[in-house]
Amino acid sequence: MLPIILFVPLLIFIIFSCFLKLLLFIYKRKNSLREDFSSKAWDNARFLVASLFSVTGKLWHGYELHGMEKIPEGPGLIVYYHGPVPIDYCYFIYNLYIQKRRVCYSVVDHFIAMLPGVEIYLNLLPALHSGREECVEILKKGNLLGVAPGGAREAFCSDENYNFLWGNRTGFAQVAIDAKVVSVFLCVDINITH
């Protein structure tokens, strides 16, 4: 009985994601949209996804976001702790879009981009997995960019004490220097209450 109970939240999330993907498919067909997710035509769908996930975060985890006024209007690099599942960062980018109508590009591992069913989310609230040059270009265009320097290593090897395992991963700092971005935010203390 206990193993079944442990999979219930995962099952709820999968059903929710499938339902949301169906809504996005209907939205795309109804509005005859192409795959250009940067187009303004996708703004309503982006807001829908952000709102549904934001409500889920508030109801399921008691997620709240404070200090949004400190994020600049121009480019900025948001550096955060990865954790086993960076759901707190996901809630952050959804709330950022709801409150400021700003998209925060996110650097994700190549593995995430290969997961079935997530590509529409990665395109809608954009994620990239290419390299430094693309990160620099995103910042030069005045966008926000979120990066977790520790990545999967930090997610799976650190413990509840939130020790940073960045090692020699300083590429994010070089990206900020190359893009001439002075706004770098370390989001160390993103908490979800259970």
168-185: burial string, b at 16+ Cβ within 10 Å, e else: ebeebeebbeebebebeb
Is 82 one of the annotated active-site residues of the chain? yes
Of these residues, 82, 110, 129, 194, which one is catalytic? 82
One-letter amino acid identity for 57? G
Residue 130 has phi, psi (to 5 degrees) of -90, -70
**Cα-based torsion angle of the residue sequence 48, 36, 135, 79 in order, rounded to the nearest 10 degrees:** 10
Q: How far apart are CA 132 and CA 135, in angstroms?
A: 5
Return the half-sphere exposure (C-beta side, CA atoms, 13 A cut-off) of residue 126: 19
Per DSSP bridges, beta strands 104-107 and 184-187 are unpaired
Catalytically active residues are: 82
